[in-house]
Structures are given as structure tokens and as C-alpha cells.
Amino acid sequence: MNFKFKILLLIIFITCLACNSETTSETNQKTAPTFSIDSLDKTTKISIDEYKNTSIVLNFWFPSCPPCKTELSYLQQIYEEFAGSIQFIGIQQIGIDSPQDGLILIKEKGITYPMGIGTNTMLLDYKISLYPTTIFIDKDHKIIIKHEGPLNLKNLRYKVNQLNY
């Protein structure tokens, strides 16, 4: 094996380990950083400021992360259950996967909530270090929960319900 291939395998291995770490941290209700990013298809901008007085579920993911793929289906199901009362926004990390890879995956999975392309600034602002990471933001745009690692459907529903109270 050549050196570059070994490095790529090491990166994928470390990424998969990170994808399977799970922690939940309650925050001290810090205001969510604002952002304006391109949609995956680059036809529109997505901004947190568009959703004033609306709770938001912000999910950071990438297509080659197996737990991310599973979680996308759960997010879509909860998005449909809470239609109109909570906004979901997916943020794809670009690097190993391209925006085109993301578009293919969200089409296959039938994802209908907005999906954007993450920026380095956004990753730093939200302190993203594991995938998937889901951030639950209340209607006043305060971060209520930051969950690192995959969520199952039951836990996702429970955390989303916390935003409604």
C-alpha cells in the first residue's frame, strides 16, 4: 500500500470512531451563532436569521459517516411530525464527500428539510468535533442541547419535545 492510501484509511478509521462517540451536554443557553450558507445545490442561501421565533434542530453530518446516514431518516421523520413548529437544518461537512455526494444521499433518503454546506467558521463557532452532532436551539435562538454522536428515534423525539416547552 502506498503512503497516501494508508493515511486515507487512517482518517476514515478515526472518523468512524468519532461517529460512534456519544455525549450529551446541557449548555448554559448560549445564543446560537448566526450563519448564512449555501444550500447543497447552491441555488439559495440558508440563514438561521430566517427562522426568528422558531425552534431549530441543526444537524452536522457528512455522507460517508454511517451513523449520519441512519440519523438522517430519523430527522426526516421527526421533521414531518413537527411540521411548521420546529425548523430542521442539515449542515453537510465538505471534505471527504462533495456537495454532489450529499445531494445524491438526501434524494435517496427523501430528505425534504433544508440542507446547507458547512463552513470552517461555522464548525468553529458551534465547536463541532464529532459527527453527527445535533444542536437543539429554542425559539429565542439559545442553544439548549448539543448532542455529539448518533441519536436514535426515541431520543431525538424526546430532545425535540424539550424545545416545545
By mean pLDDT, which of 8-12, 106-110, 128-132 is the weakest?
A: 8-12
Mean pLDDT to the nearest integer, 127-152: 95
Which pLDDT score, from 0 to 100, does residue 3 have?
55
Give the three cell numbers for residue 109.
Answer: 433518503
* Structural domains in the chain plus CATH codes: 3-163 (3.40.30.10)
Mean pLDDT to the nearest integer, 3-20: 47
Give residue for cell 453537510: 92
Which pLDDT score, from 0 to 100, does residue 21 have?
46
pLDDT digit string, tens, across residues 42-100: 999 999 999 999 999 999 999 999 999 999 999 999 999 998 899 999 999 998 899 99
